[in-house]
């Protein structure tokens, strides 16, 4: 466990995230609609631009060989019209919105679009059309979370966008396992919380059934938690901490449900150019169970990859 006392910053700083360009991977599925709802919520707060991106995969339309040319001629204009309708609806809400249509595999196409557009956040559904019965995380989401440089907001199969009281702050659940880069993660958590106008709850799950579990060390964990909470509070972020006991993927999701959280936020561990994200990882399991969206950001060895600005006060 990292010792935080000696290196915790004492002077408050103004840290905020820059979320001016948002890309929504839109495949006309219910999960894509939920992803768009989340993007609209953030765009309203940040005065952001939204770009709807649809990647037309080769298997999206079953077209007989003899009718391929004629069918393609009809399908593409229809997609453009449907995307324009979605963009028009968002513009009516006061959000600058445009759309892009590309051909290719969804994972590769979205990765290329992200490289070209360089968005501040990508929103996508983990389970697109015809994936509701999958036992693992959607393959497109899995590939993207492994490699993309920008933060990703992922909509799992149980996530819904609820109607929240606009006069109340949003709630962000942040699981913390006390990594070596915890100070950099706190800066990112602070910046995102301010951009969302959100309160933060730091949680640490103690899996009492795990062979390396040390539930008797809860007092030590709470002491470390108090240091993290104090730092975020000095940054002007309303923060509390909670220790959870049980299988992490379940107790984190249950806590998010209990406090009506808007997001669960994870910093992805890095291993060279790739994160440690995998089907068996905690992030993948939480995405499958969570009642809200999952906000993930990659942390490189040289510092935070999320675009944040820091101004001393």
Sorted by where each starts, the structural domains of the chain and their CATH numbers stand as 17-155 (3.40.50.620), 161-307 (3.40.50.620)
Residue numbers in the chain where pLDDT is lower than 50: 1-13, 60-73, 130-135, 211, 272-279, 301-304, 310-313
What is the spatial distance between Cα 274 and Cα 298, in angstroms, rounded to a whole number?
A: 9
* Cα distances (Å, whole numbers) of residue 137 to 37, 142, 281, 282: 21, 6, 11, 12
At 109, phi and psi to the nearest 5? Answer: -65, -45
What is the spatial distance between Cα 157 and Cα 81, in angstroms, rounded to a whole number?
A: 27
Q: What is the pLDDT of residue 161?
A: 77
Q: What is the pLDDT of residue 37?
A: 94
Which residue do the tokens 């935080």 mark?
4
Can you give the pTM of this predicted structure? 0.81
Q: What is the pLDDT of residue 196?
A: 87
What is the spatial distance between Cα 206 and Cα 218, in angstroms, rounded to a whole number?
A: 9
Q: What is the pLDDT of residue 57?
A: 72
């Amino acid at each position: 466990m990292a010792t935080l006392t000696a290196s915790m910053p004492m002077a408050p700083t103004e840290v905020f995230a820059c979320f001016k360009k948002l890309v929504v991977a839109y495949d006309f599925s219910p999960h894509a609609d939920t992803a768009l709802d989340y993007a609209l919520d953030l765009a309203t707060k940040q005065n952001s631009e939204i770009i709807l991106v649809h990647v037309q995969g080769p298997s999206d339309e079953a077209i007989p060989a003899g009718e391929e040319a004629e069918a393609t001629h009809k399908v593409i204009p229809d997609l453009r019209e449907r995307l324009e309708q979605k963009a028009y609806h968002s513009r009516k809400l006061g959000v600058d919105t445009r759309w892009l249509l590309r051909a290719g595999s969804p994972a590769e196409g979205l990765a290329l679009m992200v490289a070209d557009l360089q968005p501040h956040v990508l929103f996508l559904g983990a389970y697109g059309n015809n994936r509701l019965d999958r036992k693992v995380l959607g393959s497109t989401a899995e590939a993207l979370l492994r490699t993309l440089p920008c933060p990703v907001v992922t909509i799992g199969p149980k996530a819904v966008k609820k109607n929240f009281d606009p006069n109340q702050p949003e709630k962000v659940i942040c699981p913390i396992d006390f990594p070596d880069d915890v100070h950099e993660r706190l800066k990112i958590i602070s910046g995102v919380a301010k951009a969302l106008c959100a309160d933060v709850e730091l949680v640490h799950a103690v899996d009492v059934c795990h062979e390396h579990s040390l539930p008797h060390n809860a007092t030590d964990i709470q002491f470390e938690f108090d240091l993290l909470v104090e730092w975020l509070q000095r940054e002007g972020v309303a923060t509390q901490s909670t220790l959870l006991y049980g299988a992490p993927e379940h107790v984190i999701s249950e806590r998010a449900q209990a406090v009506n959280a808007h997001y669960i936020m994870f910093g992805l561990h890095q291993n060279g150019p790739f994160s440690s994200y995998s089907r068996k990882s905690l992030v993948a399991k939480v995405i499958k169970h969570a009642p809200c969206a999952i906000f993930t950001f990659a942390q490189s060895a040289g510092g935070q990859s999320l675009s944040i600005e820091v101004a001393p006060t």
